[in-house]
Structure 1
Amino acid sequence: MDGGIGLISRRGSLTSTEARDAVAAETAALAGLAATIDQDGIYPGAQLRGLGDAGTYGLHLAAHSKLGRPSLIDAIEAMAVVSATCMSSGFCVWCQDSAGWYLEQTENAALRAKLQPDIAAGTVMAGTGLSNAMKALSGTEEFRLRGKRVAGGYLVSGILPWVSNLGDGHWFGTMFENADDASHRAMAMVQVGQDGVSIKQNAHFVALEGTGTYAVLFRRAFIADDQLLADPLGAMVARIRPGFVMLQTGMGLGVIDAAIDLMHEANRTQAHCNTHQRFGAGEATDKVSAIRERLATLAATPLERDRDYIRSVLQARVDVSELSLEATQSAMLHWGACGYIHGSPVDRRIREAWFVAIITPSIRQLRREIAALSAS
């Protein structure tokens, strides 16, 4: 981290390699904690703030990138670096990055100026509460939050079952439906602990426990106009969604990289058996390299709205998710019984890959949308 900051002071900006090296140096602090985070559900707040110091959360943001320019692909690869060590923490990076991305695309410049600098720096932590909203907008769920228009804002009520990277004072982005007009939706930044907004832990997961994941309860919470990212929602979803989806690939790429390393590790003693595997480190490396090339092209134009472009973005997310599953399963087969032990590195990676496949939008949601885009 210090090397990166020193380079900035001398030259003004980092190269992509230097930026990733700075993230990797800070990520080293997570290596010894990864098993505890996974098994005990410890939220690594200090380490996540350290990643902010390293510039992790600002790489895709115009005013805060240590590259001197916004780069979505560098944000994705930084997330992959973290996820290769601890995907729980990589998921928190995605949450933080997404909140910064919403602020990047809002027309509410005052809200951006208020929150984005601290979110990019990691001095304020933030999450994303769009799982329900994305499903509702695609017609597979109802909106769980409804807001009544009042002077100066909305009174919002409802429950979001799972929002991550949360704690007292953390912020998150979410959407709600107008209680008097279901066709009118709005998007806002909300702070945990503001009047009417509380959190409660309501589930334990097979992985990703150390991610500050809670149910969020809205009890006539006053969401002021100055908290609104978009009202009405308008084109906001079209602006944020490609970047939102592509950023998720950073988690999967990290898990794939870790699975490849596990296969190489197994081969140090079991190569005589593993050479007969149908899918190994070489095949996984070739596949992930090809996906990375496609992502680099797609990430260069995240505001594009062409139908074929959107379909390609969604397909890239599917491909990363499927390769995460394939690579971690192969890592288990490479390790054999040694991997089939609770708490083994392979055990954790298998469970992390499942999460990559089911996070909203999940593989099944993505395939549904790809089919609809292909048919129209």
Structure 2
Amino acid sequence: MTLDPELAAWLDAHADGLDCGSTDAAALLPRLATAGLIGAGVPIAAGGSGGSCSSAIGAVAALARHSQAAAFVLWAQRVFIEYLLQSPNRALAEAYLPGLLAGTTAGASGLSNAMKFLGGIEALQVEARRRTDGWQLDGRLPWATNLLAQRFVVAVAASDVAGGAPAVFAVPATQAGVQRSADLDLVGLRGTATAALALSQVPLGPEHLLHEDARSYLPRVRPAFLGMQCGLSIGLARRCLASVRGSEDSGRALLAEPAGAIAADLDAAAARLSAGVDAGAFVDAPRALFLLRIQLAELAQQAAQLELQARGGAGYLHGRHGGFARRWREAAFLPIVTPSLVQLRTELARGSARQAA
């Protein structure tokens, strides 16, 4: 996907500001909406521009070439929309989709803990208690992105204290008992409205229910969650490789061969990702998706390393690196974004051990 030239120019001018937090995060979503990126892969009948999930992956990747912070925000927004599209609660989707697609409402994916829960890595950190009129939520989300003050709605998975199935809810910022922390003191990506949430006796009704059974719902949305996340790696890797190819130093010619090898592996992995997500192949076979997520993050890091070598000492001078210092930090983020590569490898190892038993 090619970005609108006006948006691309704005991102190039504000990429460092979005990374360090000097550019207001609230300025981003309306621009993404105007450029049609939020609606990529959303059915036309639901207010989007049509296409498949791979269209959304392409939109995230296109942004990541210019700004990982912008791509991370789009990931959160678009994944929350996917939660609504996969929910049987059509009234909930109809209530929130217009604002989300217009960029006036911010969607936050609070399901990182839930994805780790699905893999048996950790317990859910939010509890739900049944009430006569719905549920009461208590707990904490230590990290969620796109929490624009008083404008967000966040997906939350909660265990049932009575022993029933864990459920998934859409929790608005304005709901009683929702407390947002100050923005987290991140090394980069500071313009992404990333914060912690404390939930204290938050009352929710049936109108807030995304799905009554997280164990059946989460595997269906996980391919979009991880697939769009992979767009962060794809876009960054392509930007770094473009910089290597554009190097004017003839002494960097020896990097052409490894750059070409990374590009070939990147294109092949991205094609497998898009085909698998669109075909629904990863719903019941997530192992292949985990391996692609690991491979793409590693390719992005290899591409960043090549860009460092192509730039040489100039890459370590202020005003001479063309955004490389930011891209280096962006590459460092990819292995730790939830689920981290360590968590994915742990889950893969557990799966292999079960098969061998």
- TM-score, normalising length from structure 1? 0.87
Q: 1:283 aligns to what? A: 261
Q: Residue deviations 1:125-150, cap 9 Å, x none?
A: 11111122222232222221112111
**Match for residue 271 of structure 1 among 235, 247, 250:** 250
Q: 1:149 aligns to what? A: 130
Q: 1:4 aligns to what? A: none
**Match for residue 233 of structure 2 among 252, 265, 271:** 252
> Is residue 332 from structure 1 mapped to residue 308 from structure 2 by the alignment?
yes
Distance 2:47 2:303 in 1: 32
Distance 1:122 1:256 in 2: 27
Q: Which runs of 5+ in 2 are unaligned?
A: none
Q: Could you say what secondary structure the match of 2:316 adopts?
A: coil
Q: Which runs of 5+ in 1 are unaligned?
A: 1-19
Higher mean C-alpha displacement, 326-335 vs 86-95: 326-335
Q: 1:27 aligns to what? A: 8
**Match for residue 298 of structure 2 among 278, 298, 322:** 322
Change (3 A) 1:192 1:151: same
Superposition deviation, residue 91 in structure 1:
0.2
**Match for residue 352 of structure 1 among 326, 330, 337:** 330
The correspondence of residues 203-242 of structure 1 with structure 2, limited to 5 A, is 203-242=184-223
Higher mean C-alpha displacement, 39-48 vs 26-35: 39-48
Superposition deviation, residue 259 in structure 1:
0.6
Asked whether the equivalents of residues 24 and 81 of structure 1 are also in contact (C-alpha less than 8 Å), the reply is no
Superposition deviation, residue 87 in structure 1:
0.5
Distance 1:126 1:252 in 2: 21
Superposition deviation, residue 372 in structure 1:
3.3
Q: 2:21 aligns to what? A: 40
Q: Residue deviations 1:222-263, cap 9 Å, x none?
A: 122210101132410121011111111111111101111221
Superposition deviation, residue 280 in structure 1:
4.0
Higher mean C-alpha displacement, 21-30 vs 170-179: 21-30
Q: Could you say what secondary structure the match of 2:335 adopts?
A: helix
The correspondence of residues 68-83 of structure 1 with structure 2, limited to 5 A, is 69-83=50-64
Q: Residue deviations 1:169-205, cap 9 Å, x none?
A: 2111111111232x52110111113211021126312
Q: 2:155 aligns to what? A: 173
Superposition deviation, residue 33 in structure 1:
0.7
Superposition deviation, residue 152 in structure 1:
1.7
Superposition deviation, residue 290 in structure 1:
1.3
Distance 1:204 1:99 in 2: 24
Q: 1:97 aligns to what? A: 78
The correspondence of residues 119-130 of structure 1 with structure 2, limited to 5 A, is 119-130=100-111
Distance 2:269 2:324 in 1: 23
**Aligned partner of 1:329: which letter?**
Q
Change (3 A) 1:342 1:98: farther
Q: 1:306 aligns to what? A: 284
Asked whether the equivalents of residues 55 and 65 of structure 1 are also in contact (C-alpha less than 8 Å), the reply is no
Q: 1:365 aligns to what? A: 343
**Aligned partner of 1:346: which letter?**
F
Superposition deviation, residue 106 in structure 1:
0.5
- TM-score, normalising length from structure 2? 0.91
Change (3 A) 1:139 1:373: closer
CA RMSD after TM alignment: 2.1
> Is residue 159 from structure 1 mapped to residue 140 from structure 2 by the alignment?
yes
Higher mean C-alpha displacement, 83-92 vs 138-147: 138-147
Asked whether the equivalents of residues 197 and 216 of structure 1 are also in contact (C-alpha less than 8 Å), the reply is yes
Change (3 A) 1:372 1:47: same
Superposition deviation, residue 70 in structure 1:
3.2
Q: Could you say what secondary structure the match of 1:358 adopts?
A: coil
Distance 1:304 1:255 in 2: 24
**Aligned partner of 1:134: which letter?**
M
Distance 1:241 1:53 in 2: 27
Distance 2:151 2:206 in 1: 19
Asked whether the equivalents of residues 41 and 211 of structure 1 are also in contact (C-alpha less than 8 Å), the reply is no
Aligned residues: 350
Superposition deviation, residue 371 in structure 1:
3.0
Distance 2:137 2:332 in 1: 33
Superposition deviation, residue 61 in structure 1:
1.9
**Aligned partner of 1:214: which letter?**
A
Distance 1:83 1:24 in 2: 15
Superposition deviation, residue 303 in structure 1:
6.6
Higher mean C-alpha displacement, 80-89 vs 172-181: 172-181
Q: 1:106 aligns to what? A: 87
Asked whether the equivalents of residues 94 and 248 of structure 1 are also in contact (C-alpha less than 8 Å), the reply is yes
Change (3 A) 1:174 1:23: farther
